[in-house]
Amino acid sequence: MENRYEEYSSFPDGLPFICMPRLHRSAINLSREANWHENLEIQLCVAGDGSVLLDGRRILFSPGETVVVNSGVIHHTRTESELCYSCLIMDHTFCREAGIDPTGLRFEEHIASERLVDLFREIEHYYTKESTPCRIARLRLLALSMLIELREKHTLSAVAGIADTAMHQNVKNTIQYIRLHEGERLSLDSIAHALYINKYVLARQFKTITRQTVVQYIHSYRCHRAHALLQEGATVTEAARQCGFANLSFFAKTFQRYIGSLPSACRKR
The C-alpha atoms of residue 11 and residue 199 are separated, in whole angstroms, by 39
The CA distance from 213 to 207, in Å, is 5
What are the residues whose beta carbons fall under 8 Å from the beta carbon of 187, sequence distance 6 or more? Answer: 215
**pLDDT at res. 209:** 78
Task: List 36's β-bridge partners, or say none.
Answer: 5
The distance from CA 135 to its chain's CA centroid, rounded to whole angstroms, is 28
pLDDT of residue 163: 45
Q: What is the pLDDT of residues 90-124, one digit of tens each?
A: 998 899 999 998 888 899 999 999 999 999 999 99
CATH entry 3.40.50.450 includes domain 2-157: no
Q: State the helix-helix crossing angle for 135-153 and 114-127, rounded to 10 degrees.
A: 160
DSSP lists the bridge partners of residue 33 as 2
End-to-end CA distance of the chain: give it in Å, rounded. Answer: 28
C-alpha span between 155 and 217 (Å, rounded) = 33
The 10 Å Cβ neighbour count of residue 69 is: 27
d(CA 219, CA 188): 12
Architecture of the domain delimited by 166-266: Orthogonal Bundle (1.10)
Q: Do the domains at 2-157 and 166-266 have one common CATH topology?
A: no
Residues of the chain with pLDDT under 70: 1-7, 9-10, 32-33, 158-164, 268-269
Contact 209, 203 (CB under 8 A): no
Residues 60 and 29: beta-carbon distance below 8 Å: no
264 within 8 A of 236, measured Cβ to Cβ: yes
Closest to 48 measured CA to CA, from 31, 60, 35, 33:
60
Among residues 235, 233, 269, 240, the alpha carbon closest in space to that of 255 is found at 240
pTM: 0.63
Residue 50's pLDDT is 93
Given a contact cutoff of 8 angstroms between Cβ atoms, the answer to whether 174 and 207 are in contact is: no
**Residue ranges of domains in the chain:** 2-157, 166-266
| 182 burial via Cβ count (<10 Å: 0-12, 13-18, 19+) | middle
Helix, strand, coil % over all residues of the chain, rounded to 5: 45, 25, 30
